C-alpha cells in the first residue's frame, strides 16, 4: 500500500460522504464477465406433492433436477451502474467488454440524468474507462459534450471493494447468475428482471467505511509512508 493508493481511496470515500445533490448525482460503474452454460441433458421439472387417494398413497414433492454435466456456450459481459442515493441501477449485457460498449453505456447513463450538471462517476482504472474512448467512437463535438457530463473518480488498483457497484453486482449474481444460462438473450432477460425488482424496492447500500474509519484502520500505513518520506 502506497501514497497513491491512499490518495485514491480517500478521494472515493470523500465522494461517498458528499450530501445528496441532484445536480451532482453519485453513480458507481463496473463490469463483470459471465460464462454461459447449456444443458447436455434436459433438466427434470419440479413435481408437486400429491395427497393420498384411494388408488395411490401420498407422494412427496420433488425439486427441479439437472444433470451434473454441462456444455460451455461462450461468454458475455455485464455492465452495471448503481446510484446509491436513489437506490437505482442500470445494467446491460454485451457480447464483449469493449470501448464501444463503454461509450454506449455512458451515453445512456448521461441521458438518465438530463438535469444534472455533472454525473460523479466512480469506477476502476481499466484502459477503456476513460473519456478518450468517446473520441474513438463519436464525432469530436459529441465526444467533448459527453466527457463534460462526467466527473471521474477512480478506485485504487486492486481495490474494487471500494466501488459500491461491486455489492450490487454480487446481489445480481446471487439472484440470477447462479443458474445455467445458455445464451446472451436469456442472460439479458434474467438480469433485466432482477434489476427491475431491485429498482422497484429501491434497494441500496449502507456504506460504513468512512474516511475516519479508513484512517484509523490503516493508520500504520499512513505513518509508515509519512516516516519514509520525512527528512532525517
Residue-level pLDDT at 131: 92
Ranges in the chain, pLDDT < 70: 229-232
Residue-level pLDDT at 221: 85
In degrees, rounded to 5, the angle at the alpha carbon of residue 130 between the alpha carbons of residues 114 and 210 is 80
The CA distances from residue 47 to 50, 69, 163, in Å, are: 9, 22, 42
pLDDT tens digits for 144-163? 999 999 999 999 988 889 99
Cα–chain center distance at 45: 32
Residue-level pLDDT at 179: 83
Fold of 3-39+68-229: Nucleotidyltransferase; domain 5 (3.30.420)
Which strands form 70-83's sheet, in the order they lie side by side?
88-94, 70-83, 26-39, 119-123, 150-154
Residue-level pLDDT at 232: 59
Q: Where are the domains of the chain?
A: 3-39+68-229
Residue-level pLDDT at 180: 83
Residue-level pLDDT at 112: 93
Pairing of strands 150-154, 70-83: unpaired
Residue-level pLDDT at 197: 93
Amino acid at each position: 500500500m502506497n501514497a497513491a493508493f491512499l490518495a485514491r481511496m480517500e478521494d472515493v470515500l470523500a465522494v461517498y460522504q458528499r450530501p445528496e445533490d441532484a445536480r451532482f448525482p453519485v453513480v458507481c460503474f463496473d463490469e463483470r464477465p459471465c460464462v454461459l452454460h447449456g444443458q447436455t441433458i434436459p433438466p427434470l421439472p419440479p413435481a408437486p406433492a400429491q395427497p393420498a387417494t384411494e388408488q395411490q398413497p401420498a407422494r412427496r414433492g420433488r425439486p427441479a433436477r439437472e444433470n451434473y454435466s454441462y456444455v460451455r456456450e461462450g461468454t458475455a459481459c455485464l455492465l452495471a451502474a448503481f446510484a446509491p442515493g436513489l437506490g437505482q441501477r442500470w445494467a446491460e449485457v454485451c457480447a464483449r467488454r469493449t470501448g464501444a460498449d463503454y461509450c454506449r453505456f455512458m451515453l445512456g447513463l448521461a441521458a438518465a440524468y438530463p438535469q444534472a450538471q455533472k454525473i460523479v462517476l466512480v469506477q476502476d482504472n481499466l484502459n477503456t474507462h476513460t473519456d478518450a474512448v468517446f473520441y474513438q467512437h463519436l464525432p469530436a463535438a459529441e465526444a467533448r459534450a459527453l466527457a463534460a457530463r462526467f466527473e471521474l473518480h477512480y478506485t485504487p488498483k486492486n481495490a474494487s471493494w471500494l466501488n459500491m457497484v461491486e455489492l450490487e453486482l454480487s446481489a445480481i449474481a446471487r439472484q440470477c447468475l447462479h443458474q445455467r444460462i445458455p445464451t446472451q438473450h436469456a442472460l439479458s432477460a434474467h438480469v433485466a428482471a432482477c434489476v427491475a425488482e431491485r429498482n422497484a424496492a429501491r434497494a441500496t447500500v449502507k456504506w460504513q467505511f468512512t474516511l475516519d474509519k479508513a484512517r484509523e484502520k490503516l493508520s500504520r500505513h499512513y505513518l509508515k509512508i509519512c516516516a519514509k518520506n520525512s527528512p532525517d
